[in-house]
Structure 1
Amino acid sequence: MIKKDILIAVVDGQGGGIGRQYIESLTKQLPKDLPVIIRALGTNSAATSNMMRAGATDGATGENAIVKNAGRADIIVGVVAIVVPDSILGELSPKMANAVGQSDALRILIPFDSCNTRIAMLSNGPLQQFIDKAVQMTIQRIKELS
């Protein structure tokens, strides 16, 4: 039995497209009876709005929202750049990256070649493949917390 709501913080910027895809995929697979909050955390209002339209439970925008919620989250999901200061064309501040990096939450980072951040991976593939893997990892973590 889950004792509390599980908070999944989805961090995105530059329109929130990857966060939107993740939230859409997760909500299709997530059992409806689980007490899960999917919180859209955008570096800008367009990103937050886009993720809200995808089915996030609630959302907030900006540095303070990301910093405050990173410490509360059970799971944080976003592209790898969310742990790199000044990434996402400068939208991700050092304070935000530090909060995500220091959080006790499980961080599920989606590989995405952007903003001069690359990951040496054993395989390459379409973005949706990595989003699907992130969804699987999220569902596994929810089961562990149950």
Structure 2
Amino acid sequence: MIIAVIDGMGGGIGGQIVAHLRQELPSYFEIYGLGTNSTATSVMFKNHANKGATGENAIVVSSKKANVIIGPMSIIIPNSMMGEVTEKMAAAVAEAEALKILLPIMPDNFVLVGLENKPMMLLIKDAIAILKKEFNIQK
């Protein structure tokens, strides 16, 4: 199974997601750290992603291969992350057949109604719980 973690900016969210996936999932899961920039990719790679790639084409190509895509909601919003998410990136993620598990982190001018305001750590734990339940994964 291929899990693509997509992040940008400084890669802090993606790095945390990769680290927790490594702790919670069996070692045979492939984790791709896909960054909108090289800093984000590097952070995910340092947190033990199996593979890492940077930029629009890497995200477009790898989104097609992934079984699961995890990242902040901004990855499906064109021009978010201060312009790092291109229209092609956002479309590729949104149109991918992969299960998308999105953390409710988005630009300031977006508001989703009905969401709990939780700390990042709890959001990541919730995302991993959804992944484990969806694919009946036990470590």
Provide TM-score, normalisation by structure 2.
0.92
Pick one of 109, 114, 122 that aligns with 1:116. Answer: 109
What is the CA-CA distance between 1:116 and the residue it aligns to? Answer: 3.1
Q: CA RMSD in A?
A: 1.4
1:95 paired residue number? 88
Which amino acid in structure 1 is aligned with residue 7 of structure 2? D
What is the CA-CA distance between 1:30 and the residue it aligns to? Answer: 1.1
Matched, 1:18 2:36: no
Which 5+ residue runs of structure 2 have no aligned equivalent? Answer: none
Helix, strand or coil at the partner of 1:69:
helix
Per-residue CA deviations over 1:1-51 (Å, capped at 9, x if unaligned) read xxxxx010000000110011111111111123xx31100000000000000
Which amino acid in structure 2 is aligned with residue 24 of structure 1? A
**8 Å Cα contact 1:89-1:115 kept in structure 2:** no
**8 Å Cα contact 1:19-1:51 kept in structure 2:** yes
CA distance in 2, matches of 1:123, 1:140: 21
1:76 paired residue number? 69
Helix, strand or coil at the partner of 1:56:
coil
Helix, strand or coil at the partner of 1:128:
helix
CA distance in 1, matches of 2:101, 2:107: 17
Which amino acid in structure 1 is aligned with residue 72 of structure 2? V
1:55 paired residue number? 48
- Give aligned pairs, total: 137
The percent identity for this pair of structures is 42
Which amino acid in structure 1 is aligned with residue 88 of structure 2? K
Helix, strand or coil at the partner of 2:65:
coil
2:121 paired residue number? 128
Which 5+ residue runs of structure 1 have no aligned equivalent? Answer: 1-5
1:106 paired residue number? 99
Helix, strand or coil at the partner of 1:123:
coil
**8 Å Cα contact 1:87-1:115 kept in structure 2:** no
Helix, strand or coil at the partner of 1:49:
helix
**8 Å Cα contact 1:88-1:115 kept in structure 2:** no
Per-residue CA deviations over 1:79-103 (Å, capped at 9, x if unaligned) read 0011111111100000000000100
**8 Å Cα contact 1:76-1:106 kept in structure 2:** yes
**8 Å Cα contact 1:74-1:106 kept in structure 2:** yes
